Amino acid sequence: MKRRIELTIEKMVSKGEALARHEGKVVFVPEAIPGERLLVELTEEKGDFNRAKIVEILEPSPQRITPKCPFYGRCGGCDFQFIDNTSQVAYKEMMVRENLERIGKIDLSQIEFLGSVVKDEWGYRNRVRFHTQGNKVGFLERQSNTLVTIDYCPVLCDQLNLYLKEKRGELLKQRIGSVNALAGESEVTFTRRPVALTVNDKTLYCDAKAFFQSNHYILPELVTYVKETVRGERILDLYSGVGTFAAFLEGEGRQVIAVERDRRCLELAKRNLKETQFVPIPLEMWVKREALPQVDTIIVDPPREGLDREVLNILTILGAERIVYV
């Protein structure tokens, strides 16, 4: 039988885990909340840390709630549904602050935290990747290729949940393991057929294959913040995608240059934008072919891996007054 111990949780860390200490070693416990006293069972013992699972909650946190989703705990999509939303936001901000300070060595006194702009904690996702296996549609378990069949997801918008219910057969016909779906104003696409999405006062076109911000509650606030933050008339929009930010910056005397290597994104961007100059190759290739542009503000919205060293060096040389990193 595996060893059982009592712990008091100290703080939240990434991936829905919490941290405690026992006999000088860090113990990571999933689905625990700071301040809780727990009886746990050790599931993994390493040289400098252990992992454990909850056996019994001896003293629960007042922040603990019953997850809304019936698939929570099996589906790997959500980490924090067992914590009330206000506390979730606070813990996530705390983790961002700690990573910036401890790992990034950044002086937090120079950073403005805007807080949450979420209008609703449910129904906010307008894009999703459905996984298929045989005659099943759903999401994968955490750190597993096992599929959890679902018929409803509370974080998806109504259009996607209706699509999941009524078009399961269409999804299964794809037989490619996973299917991206994007909800527009009046229809859902899982192909390269564009749908229209309204952001603030503009209509943008996107398809299920191209990148688009998935939280339709936050996107209008994000676009407004970027627009208010830029300085000057010469704007360089890196990793510009379908032109989400450029659409709100072009015109009004500004010169906007959109750098995007993905051909499909460029096709959609040309439909969305009217007065923007397009660069269809990576920044590092462009600056080798052309003279360095004179820019006042640079917007960067890179993939998850972030900016590589060469791009960072180029941004330094460009010497823009402001960089807006999304």
Its domain, for residue 9, covers 4-59
For residue 27, count CB atoms less than 10 angstroms from its CB and return exposed for 0-12, middle for 13-18, buried for 19 or more: buried
- Beta-strand ranges (E) seen in the chain are 4-8, 11-12, 17-22, 25-30, 37-45, 49-59, 127-133, 136-140, 147-149, 178-183, 188-189, 195-199, 202-206, 234-238, 255-259, 276-279, 297-300, 322-325
Of 72 and 111, the structure prediction assigns the larger pLDDT to 72
pLDDT interval class at 176 (50, 70, 90): low
Note whether 114 and 173 are same-domain residues. Answer: yes
Q: Determine the 3-state secondary structure of 198 from DSSP.
A: strand
Q: Is the residue at 91 inside a domain?
A: yes
Confidence band, pLDDT 50/70/90 cuts, at residue 175: low
Q: Cα separation of 67 and 84, whole Å?
A: 9
**Which of residues 16, 40, 59 is at a domain's end?**
59
Q: Is residue 214 part of a domain?
A: no
* Residue 210 near residue 194 (C-beta atoms within 8 A): no
Give CA–CA dist 126/155, Å, rounded.
9
- Do the beta carbons of residue 191 and residue 178 sit within 8 Å? no
Q: Do 126 and 182 touch, CB atoms closer than 8 A? A: yes
Same domain for 110 and 147:
yes
Q: Quick one: what percent of the chain has pLDDT higher than 90?
A: 67
Strand partners, 49: 26
Is residue 118 one of the residues assigned to a domain? yes
Last residue of a domain, one of 179, 210, 234: 179
**CATH number, domain at 29?**
2.40.50.140
Per the listing, tokens 């459905």 go with 130
What's the rounded mean pLDDT across residues 233-239? Answer: 96
Please check whether residues 69 and 53 belong to one and the same domain. Answer: no
Instruction: Check whether residue 69 and residue 168 sit in a common domain.
Output: yes
Strand partners, 129: 180
| Phi, psi of 161, deg, nearest 5 | -65, -40
Q: Is 26 part of a structural domain of the chain?
A: yes
Q: Which amino acid is at 121?
A: E
The CATH number that applies at residue 306 is 3.40.50.150
Task: Let me know if residue 190 belongs to a domain.
Answer: no
CB of 16 within 8 A of CB of 95? Answer: no
| pLDDT: which is higher, 133 or 260 | 260
Are both 9 and 95 inside the same structural domain?
no
Is there a single domain that holds both residue 154 and residue 76? yes
Mean pLDDT of 188-213: 90
Spatial distance between the Cα atoms of 299 and 37, rounded to a whole number of angstroms: 45
pTM of the model: 0.86
Tokens at residue 284, please?
């590092």
Closest CA to 133 of 144, 120, 119, 121: 144
Nearest residue to 118 (alpha-carbon basis) of 45, 221, 203:
221
Number of domains forming the structure of the chain: 3
Which residue(s) pair with 277 in the sheet?
Answer: 257
**Are residues 26 and 129 located together in one domain of the fold?**
no
The reported pLDDT for the residue numbered 151 is 93
Q: What are phi and psi of 292, to 5 degrees?
A: -60, 130
The stretch 304-321 carries a mean pLDDT of 92
Gyration radius from the chain CA atoms: 23
